[in-house]
Amino acid sequence: MGNRPNWNEYFMKMAELAASRSTCLRRKVGAIMVKDRQILATGYNGAPRGVTHCEKNSCLREKLKVPSGERHELCRGVHAEQNLVAQAAFHGVKTEGALVYCTNKPCVICAKILINAGVDHIYYGRGYEDEFTDQLLEDSGVNCDKLD
């Protein structure tokens, strides 16, 4: 079949497309939720609905020189995984047993949200090591794999 992507490649490309909608100035992240090879919801990181985007209002974390992964409360943006679950809830979509494809490995907060949403498996493209996130996912039985 030539260049036809397998399902994991296909869905990760869709997550990358979602990331292209991000309004974050520091890192563009996209995520999609899939069940039975059907896309249930999409998400990307950016300001909440009705709030001025960082592209227009600048990045407070950048101004304060906050290192990556620290002081998330200073960010106006909502993470892609959070927006993903919020979109599913907004539209009444059942998330139990779903797979999530995310351009970046979820942070510990997003991992907890995905666990409670009933997600079975998380696939990600890029990541940083976080032992606490890994432990929570393992304890909950949620598989998490990096796609190369």
The CA–CA distances, whole Å, from 139 to 99, 105, 115, 117 equal: 17, 17, 10, 15
Element (H, E) at 81: helix 80-90
- Parent domain of 25: 7-146
Question: For residue 36, is it within any domain?
Answer: yes
Question: For residue 57, is it within any domain?
Answer: yes
User: Is pLDDT at 37 greater than 90 in this prediction?
Assistant: yes
**Range 13-26 average pLDDT:** 94
Question: For residue 40, is it within any domain?
Answer: yes
User: Angle between the 108-116 and 80-90 helix axes, to the nearest 10 degrees?
Assistant: 20
Active site residue 81: yes
Q: Show the CA angle centred on residue 76, arms to residues 73 and 81, nearest 5°.
A: 85
User: Is pLDDT at 1 greater than 70 in this prediction?
Assistant: no
Question: For residue 62, is it within any domain?
Answer: yes
CATH number at residue 79: 3.40.140.10
Which of 81, 129, 131, 138 is flagged as catalytic? 81
**pLDDT tens digits, residue range 87-100?**
999 999 999 999 99
Question: For residue 2, is it within any domain?
Answer: no
- Count of CB atoms within 10 A of residue 86's CB? 16
The mean-pLDDT minimum among 50-59, 99-108, 110-119 falls in 50-59
> What's the total number of domains in the chain?
1
Q: Is 79 annotated as a binding residue?
A: yes
What pLDDT shows up at residue 127?
85
Question: For residue 13, is it within any domain?
Answer: yes
Higher pLDDT, 110 or 65: 110
**DSSP code at position 43:** E
Q: Is 53 annotated as a binding residue?
A: no
Question: For residue 1, is it within any domain?
Answer: no
> What is the percent of the chain where pLDDT is above 90?
70
Higher pLDDT, 140 or 26: 140
What pLDDT shows up at residue 66?
84
Q: Is 107 annotated as a binding residue?
A: yes
User: What pTM does this model have?
Assistant: 0.91
